[in-house]
Amino acid sequence: MFCLLTLPFRIFFGILFSVLLLPFGLLLLPFLLLRVLFKLALFVVLAPIVAVAAVAVILLALGAVFLALLLPLLPFALLAVIAWAIVRASQPAYAR
């Protein structure tokens, strides 16, 4: 109810201050455009670097997960290599 009571005053003062502050807004417009231009230039320079870093981090994380999952299987792989070497060494020379 209070918002409805003060609505005419808010409309009046909003229009008044917007008309009074319009020249200052127009003076600030080139600086706002320069700000946007600098942010765009910074984005164009930094985006590829961030993308490459993100890909490197993802590959490093995938490598860590791969290593963490396969590291417990390393003793079994070592036993398989030892068994293969023993079987290969025990074969006769003509079978090679």
Reading the chain (96 residues) residue by residue, the pLDDT tens digits are 888 889 999 999 999 998 898 888 888 899 999 999 999 999 999 999 999 999 999 999 999 999 999 999 999 999 999 999 999 888 877 755
DSSP string, 28-81: HHHHHHHHHHHHHHHHHHHHHHHHHHHHHHHHHHHHHHHHHHHGGGHHHHHHHH
Structure tokens at 4: 């409805």
For 19-31, b/e burial (b = at least 16 CB within 10 A) is eeeeeeeeeeeee
User: Residue 23 has what pLDDT?
Assistant: 87
User: Residue 96 has what pLDDT?
Assistant: 58
User: Residue 83 has what pLDDT?
Assistant: 95
